[in-house]
Structure 1
Amino acid sequence: MKKMNIKTLKVMLISGANNLYNHHFEVDKLNVFPVPDGDTGTNMNLTMMNGIKELNGKDYETLKELGTTFSRGLIMGARGNSGVILSQIFRGFFQVLIAKENKDSMIDNEDLIKSWRSAQEYAYRAVMKPVEGTILTVVREGTNFISENIDKNKNALFIFEKLLEGMSESLKRTPDLLPILKRVGVVDSGGAGLVYIIEGMVYGLKNGKPIMPKKKLTQDGTKLEMSLNQEDFGYCTEVIVKLSKTNKSDFNLNKTRNDLETMDGQSIVVVDDEDLLKVHVHTLKPGQILNYFQKFGEILKVKIENMTEQAKAHTQTIKPIRKLIHDFALIAAVSGKGVEVFFKEQLNVDHIIAYSSRVNPSTDDFLKAIEAADAKTVFILPNDGNLFLTAEQAKKLEKKSKVFVLPAKNIAHGMRAALNFNREDNPKDNYNNMWSEIKKNVAFGYITVADRDVEIDGVTIEKNHYFGAVNNRKDTKVKIVSSNKDIISTIRGLFSKLIWTGAEIITIFKGKDASKEQLNYVIKILDEDYNIEYEFVSGEQEIYNFLFVVE
């Protein structure tokens, strides 16, 4: 029976990450809500690539070294719920392998079965309320499938092919377990991302080399390419690389020189001496050069000088020692420049984690915010249900500050919590007071435009029509309540479910795509139909024409 070794496993991980990268825009499109803000594929891709980044140019003698490095990279780069769960799947997978005492570090079929069982357990453990029909189901049913079909006389490829078969079939069944998937006509996006990873791993195991990442990816028919930032200067970049034995046979001096030319390199000098490679190149993107040479081995020395500033040496910033000079700090994650200013200036939030609607902040982003806060006790307001697990992961990794993560699932929750933050109270009372205010006399809603035909929560929505959703005081989740091609009708339907008798004030965050005319519609409806004060904020958020907070 053929067994796996460390080098093979590393190739498989790289191949899995590359295959996900090649398909992550497809995964993004598998949205359960008809809004063009799909980010599951992007989040999983960025998470996976952060793990792979830690492996590039390095060889490992033990499974512990490989597993610990890769798992740590995934955790630090985890973005969104899907990224956190993915990091835990591989963390669980490696827990069994790390415990192996085999000096040859070979992996047999029984090891693989145990590893995937552990992966399943860690994945479910990461989620407070597991939902079936998601990536959790895919990893569980895939694991059960290989447990039922194990054959000790077969090689590792047989196990991974069976795993891929089991996960693929499980993915097809996710719409039967999660009704909203069936109504929209898609499979679960997180599960799809995991299947692409396993598909890539099977390729790497079968062929002994990884799937190559595509040079150009398309999204909605548009080629996405990195544009060169034209400047009046370049960087003199010198690199010394120790070629790894694994990749030395793939290294070709002439091809490397040609590759540097295609990256707009000039004054190119590339020489090799046994296992050492010396490179000199003038370039506008030194980082691109370093990334390129990492695939050949370990970078031993780098010198980058800005030629415009007469060879000023590149220096590294030294992190200051954290002294925890503040007693408390309040951190909020928000999307939209105006929302960011509002939380900072009106709600006295100490630090903001700003992010786009398409790319969620990572665990490392939260850790950096905690570090910048430099406080004994830190309170985090995720303000998005998709960021809660990421914030919790940062809480587990933080070693100096005491961290509390509030269950703020939207900016309405975040506003109530921030308004009731008292720097004179002790940490426990502060947490309890903010938590109790999150769901007390506050409601949240939004207006946006659908990108497909679908029926959700009993509401029929047509492509390019407006629709409104509400998270009111009694419901624990956001519900679609109105939809119409006419924004006025949509707003009226939304307000009928959002504003209750006795509500005192509504805060309206105007998005980037909201027009002055639409704003006037909102004012007209409020003046004519409701006895409530209102306040407007130029939120500048993407996707959502308006965000509403009612208190």
Structure 2
Amino acid sequence: MNPGPHKEERPVPHEQQLQPFAEFDAEAVRTWSSLAVAALGRSRDAIDAINVYPVADADTGTNLYLTAESADRALGAAGAAGLVPAVQAWAHGALIGARGNSGTILAQLLRGVADGLGDTPADRGPGRLLAHALTRAAQEAYQAVAHPVEGTMLTVAAAAARAAEAAGAAAGTAADVARAAYDGARSALADTPRQLAELGRAGVVDAGGCGLVAVLGALWQALSGQEPEPEAVGRPADGGAVQQPAPCGAAEEPGGPAYEVLYLLDAGEPAVARLRERLDGLGDSLVVVGGDGLWNVHVHVDDPGAAVEAGVEAGRPYRIRITHFGDERRRRTPAERAQRAVVAVVPGEGLAALCGEAGATTVLAPPGAAPDAEGLAAAIRRAHAREVVLLPGGPDQRAAAHAAAERARADGVRVAVIPTRSAVQGLAALAVHDPEGSFDEDVVAMTSAAGATRYAELAVAERQSFTSAGICQAGDVLGLIDGDVAVIGSGLAETAEAVLARMLGSGGELVTLVLGPDAPDALAERLEAYVQHGHLAVDTVTYQGGRHSAPLLIGVE
């Protein structure tokens, strides 16, 4: 199951691991952070394999690892600082790099630690100081989740806090409090299958809770110098052997929102309160963390555009990541690793659903929300395969795709990037994808299919401008062929016909039409008739691109 060694940017020397810290200070926090990244790096595949709640998509361990890695980088960049500023920098790094449901909750836990340290009287001893910080962390994490569920990472955090408070009240040292929190978390984790039906049916413990136990084990190691015993990740509450998680559909009806939406948001607290209410009505797994004007928003929805629009109304959303879960989460158990997968970047929900039905893991990239390298790397990990073919979708996403591929290769995944320049080229490549053939032959066939597909896009000019086809006015319809403006027209249908005439003038066997959300109902019929009338040997297929798609995409193979 393990694809290879994981690269850790800040390995902790062995002698530092064995050197305890008498005080819970900034240096202890730096060591805690490094040890947490290392612990999550070792266990992330095992945690991914038991991920069945809230979505069985095999990425909880990866999300926690990436979140902790982002936090660790921010802490390292903060340089020399006191305890509270160091933890604040650590929490901020987690906030801006939080991934998924579990990573977002971890970010809030770290912020709670910072808040707890900041409001604790100076005369409290190190043990009580740490206990209060862990209690504040658990409280804030519960507040960040719209509908807290017991048997999850939140339950584990609360149990750790209670155990820490008891140790602190007994005048324990910081190391004593850390050990109590670690033991309390382990005990609560083992009991999660009795609290959450999904876990009990699958015979595993909560994946997010597993990650939190690893983080708290790193805290105890930093303060005591003693290395925790290796955890039997996934161990059921009765201590028996780990069971293979059952497919989601085997125990429950298929369902749940189709998209995961994450973004950072600059907004005030009143606007965020309204945003919570609106997003809560759109989907589930809602977690909003942060404060002081900066928030990280996570939600599962069927309408990702509405979730982003709600963010626009609340403030300024950015670093938007939209991922289509697809039917794979219902067909494959989290513990199974496919031999080969396709990851496709697409501009609209309709294309995402189409690619998902074809077996691809999709990343939605509406205008202004092109995925970054980390987002694409997370999608590659979500695909959970030994070999991945990546379809970046457009030239502006090519650099991020290659950077993501390099990250995945460092984890032992074989990745090939197909140089697609349009979603229709991605569809052509996906149509010839052969998961049973050799990897090299599959990549060659998909690359050839994409390269043999000429592409066009119709757009509406926003202002007067000089183009390669002449001067356009605001409102004119522009027909772009292979990225350059070739036709300027007044209507969508007439311009599309002119574009098709140019593209089919050099031949073709198949025309692909992808209609945007505002395209007239009769447009597809008119263009299909146009192609059939002038080119009898050419077939036509039509798809709905969905929200955020261009008015019309055309591919000619």
Q: Indicate whether the TM-score tops 0.5.
A: no
TM-score bucket of the superposed structures, by smaller chain: 0.3 to 0.5
Q: What TM-score do the two structures reach when normalised by structure 2? A: 0.44
Q: What TM-score do the two structures reach when normalised by structure 1? A: 0.45
